Structure 1
């Protein structure tokens, strides 16, 4: 039985040695064969040099350096494409996901699930990041009718088949949770411990989470167009009823003028929202159609 542990890395030079030791300790204690695939997402610190030193000490550590900062999801996808394990685990590089919880995830997936998400009992994130996480969770619920009981996180274990389906994705806009909801039918959440961040500050903030939620909605659903269409239909119906009322039952002209101004204002507002929606969809579509991959590899040692 081989386990592949995929770690997207960004500015985590101080945490990587401890993360490696803890993963190794968990695996060797149980006699599990494993590989650790670290993908450096163009860090600004010495993360890649630390990865090289770990690789020199242990050839089970496979390292990849991306040519440009592609984002956590694309870096994780890159690691999945080089994973060879029977089970694939993805874990963050900041030590907030305890590797000691991996055996519990494995025990749960052995019950017949395709993917198990390790969800914190209590998130040790700042308020704004928790708010962003809830926003993304609500977005996934709107798009995929995700059950409220299914919570998702970047700490997860999946079987080889599921990892292979993810790795085969050729989209430019990558959001792994959305891809998993499209492809799997047997997913479950498991509450796990969540530690405080030991080094540095998180690279996520509320504005990034909001941008991610918008990209998710516009890249993976037609919901905004549906909302705009229904709003236009409602405004058209309101205008028709308003016009018929004053055609058959003329009344106070000031009321008629006020209602007309309201309808004109609605048309202008909806026109503006339609333009914004079209611009966002066009931006996402052009990104998908430009033919470039979501990441590029500068060098790797496997």
Structure 2
């Protein structure tokens, strides 16, 4: 069967919402021929059994279950690899993105964009998530040359050409928005509603956010290495100047030497840590660390 749109849903601990979400999607998009692709990212609740019931109820639903928790971006990559329609929209499993807003994205991409991002009229995340989003926006603007006024929501739609470019990435550490932005500059953005989370708490912890930033830092930009080179050059020049001044003035002693040694050691440790991250990610990719591993599919 040929579909107009693939709706990709990464699911994690969403047993109480996923059934209602799929039902709402089919209701709101009844004017389109859609397929729904659900990827269970090794949930710890009854998500898998609920999704199996959904598959039995709807012919146009595909379900894939992963063997371990790989993360949201990896689950989305799995969904995109199995989406067949000319367009694919990515929507979270918690109803914060209302299904009827998919229509806005679908209508916008018909204007000829390769991808359409959503922005929120009013964000209903908690203060921590909003603060993290603000910081994330600053980081991405510098690291991957993202336009400052472009908000990177996970609620996006892309055309087939962009999907095909994104899924060419076979590394273990994908970042969907980064892959999209390095594939095309032909993007649009629309304002959509953002609702309160219906069940549970956000899966975004400090640990996951730090891992996300490190992923972006290491896998999608070489600027940290350039900064290290620049900082090393500036530090050398400043240190040389200070040493000359201290020597001329006859100021120094063991205390100054020890402080300078500790400072140098701290800088070296930071630089070695960043280089180690690059080498570690390259090593894991070279050794075939999987992007995701399927346990079952329906």
What residue number does 1:298 align with?
295
Q: Contact 1:87 / 1:160 at 8 angstroms: preserved in 2?
A: yes
- Is the 8 Å Cα contact of residues 129 and 206 (structure 1) preserved in structure 2? no
4+ residue runs over 4 A deviation: 243-247, 255-263
2:144 and 2:220 in contact (8 A); partners too: no
Instruction: Assess if the C-alpha contact under 8 Å between 1:131 and 1:206 holds in 2.
Output: no
Distance 2:219 2:115 in 1: 23
Supply the RMSD in Å over aligned alpha carbons: 1.8
TM-aligned CA deviation for residue 14 of structure 1:
0.7
TM-score scaled to structure 1, two decimals? Answer: 0.92
Unaligned segments of structure 2, at least 5 residues: none
Tell whether the 8 Å contact from 2:114 to 2:158 is kept in structure 1 after alignment.
yes
User: Given the alignment of the two structures, is residue 106 of structure 1 paired with residue 106 of structure 2, yes or no?
Assistant: yes
Provide the aligned length of Structure 1 versus Structure 2. Answer: 296
After TM superposition, the structure 1 = structure 2 runs for residues 1-302 of structure 1, keeping only pairs within 5 Å, are 2-28=4-30, 30=31, 32-245=32-245, 250-251=248-249, 253-254=250-251, 263-301=260-298
The answer as to whether partners of 1:40 and 1:64 remain within 8 angstroms in 2 is yes
User: How many angstroms apart in 2 are the aligned matches of 1:126 and 1:234?
Assistant: 40
1:278 deviates by 2.2
TM superposition shift of 1:205: 2.0
Q: Deviations over 1:59-87 (max 9, x none)?
A: 10111111111111001100101111011
TM-score by length of 2: 0.93
Verify the 8 A CA contact 2:29 2:100 in the aligned structure 1.
no
